[in-house]
Amino acid sequence: MSPAFSASSTTDDVLEGVDLTGQRFLVTGVSAGLGVETTRTLLAHGASVVGTARDLVKADRALEPVREFIQPGASLEVIEVDLASLASVRRGADQLLERGDAFDVVIANAGVMACPYGTTKDGFETQFGTNHLGHFVFVNRIVPLIKSPGRIVLLSSAAHRRSDVSLEDPGFATTAYDPWMAYGRSKTANVLFGVALDSRLNEKGIRATALHPGGIQTELGRHVTPELIATMRAAATPAGAPQMQFKTVPQGAATTVWAACVAEPDAIGGRFLEDCNVASINETDSLGGVEAYALSPDTADALWTLSEQMVDETFAFNR
């Protein structure tokens, strides 16, 4: 069993005494916030990291302070992947496949949040297309590179509680667009993707899980005004409960590295995590937990089929 951690645990707390020498990690979205901190702490413990970013210049600038943490024999590299462009996603995946270097853990960290209505380069609603479909294609394409045993860690959010996915109208063609509903749909999709991946890859020794890092004020919230933050806090806090508190970035990335490096794989596979623990299914209007609809195997399979249809690509794994 791993040591007990909590909402206040940091990345350094979680990885204290952990040696990652010789292990390779892939982290999407390393140009800011949680991606940078996740990369820093993995490097500090001896791992090699391949990061992805839409803007390589921005990523290089953001990662400059963490290069000093690279241990002898380890490395840090960033490749270009724009999750809002399937052509870019496929180029990045193909680049990795051509090299053939294996990964111990893939961390799908990148994303956008509560942005105005828009579409990706392939015509998908921005949040669903970037947060879910981009990672759906990228992660599935590089599955052959993931070692056994290995792990896939998908960053979701407590915002999944705002909405289940819509299999009938994923692009808001007939539904009035709401940025938080769209974000919630995409974050539920992240959890369901984890459920589907875990069921397909478990027998290969690869476990997948999704998590809520906590409320953190990072660049992810660049579209969020102070008024929307107040609304978000109120919506996330049940009547009579203490107001939701923001985490620091090291606290926010702690659940990611706990899932990737410390937690027992059988305990987290196909589950939803928060505060460095497995979340319980939410049966009341409480602060925390996971909605049952986000863990539905039937919905996960239906979303997988829909996603394949939308991206016009099929991913077959032995069940």
So which residues are the catalytic ones? Answer: 177
Query: 246's torsion region: left (phi>0), alpha (psi -120 to 50) or beta?
Result: beta
Nearest CA among 193, 171, 141 for reference residue 313:
141
Dihedral sign computed on CA atoms, order 292, 297, 300, 306: negative
Cβ atoms of residues 39 and 49 within 8 Å: yes
Query: Vertex 27, ends 106 and 120: CA angle to 5°?
Result: 100
Please give the C-alpha separations between residue 247 and each of 178, 255, 262, 263, in angstroms, as whole numbers. Answer: 26, 12, 20, 21
Radius of gyration of the chain (CA): 18
For residue 154, give both structure tokens: 């998908």
